[in-house]
């Protein structure tokens, strides 16, 4: 959903009032994802909850820093209208990597129950 919203932001970037609607939906979807991810981490690691949340927030700030650096580069070289498309590519890469991680975890858990 986030990828689709970012692409729509790129398409409707200079089309008046639609940009405000997509910015609202982007914020709603994007920020809700982080809190649900934190809740999942708290359930998966109840004994290490403090350290897991600390590392998760550290990763968040590192991601914000790297994203700001890439965003600054994109804006400087290609302009603001290219930024939503670059962000959607980053969202696709993130989705693929997180899906692959989940599939590896499922394989590992299936292997450990078989042996």
Can you give the residue ranges of every domain in the chain?
Answer: 2-114
Half-sphere exposure of 53 (CA within 13 A, CB side): 12
Give the predicted TM-score (pTM) of the model.
Answer: 0.68
State the burial class of residue 17 (Cβ atoms within 10 Å of its Cβ: 0-12, 13-18, 19+).
exposed
Helix and strand totals (H; E) in the chain: 4, 0
Q: How far apart, in whole angstroms, are the C-alpha atoms of residue 13 and residue 91? A: 18
pLDDT in tens, the chain (115 residues): 888 888 888 888 777 788 888 889 888 887 888 888 899 889 989 999 999 999 999 999 999 999 999 999 999 999 988 988 998 898 899 888 878 866 666 666 666 555 5
Q: How far apart, in whole angstroms, are the C-alpha atoms of residue 20 and residue 28? A: 12
């Amino acid at each position: 959903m986030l990828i689709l919203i970012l692409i729509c932001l790129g398409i409707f970037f200079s089309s008046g009032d639609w940009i405000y609607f997509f910015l609202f939906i982007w914020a709603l979807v994007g920020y809700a994802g982080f809190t649900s991810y934190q809740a999942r981490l708290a359930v998966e690691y109840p004994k290490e909850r403090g350290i897991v949340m600390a590392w998760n927030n550290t990763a968040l700030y590192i991601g914000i820093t790297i994203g700001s650096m890439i965003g600054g580069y994109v804006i400087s070289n290609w302009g603001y209208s290219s930024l939503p498309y670059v962000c959607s590519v980053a969202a696709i890469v993130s989705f693929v990597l997180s899906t692959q991680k989940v599939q590896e975890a499922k394989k590992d858990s299936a292997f450990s129950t078989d042996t």
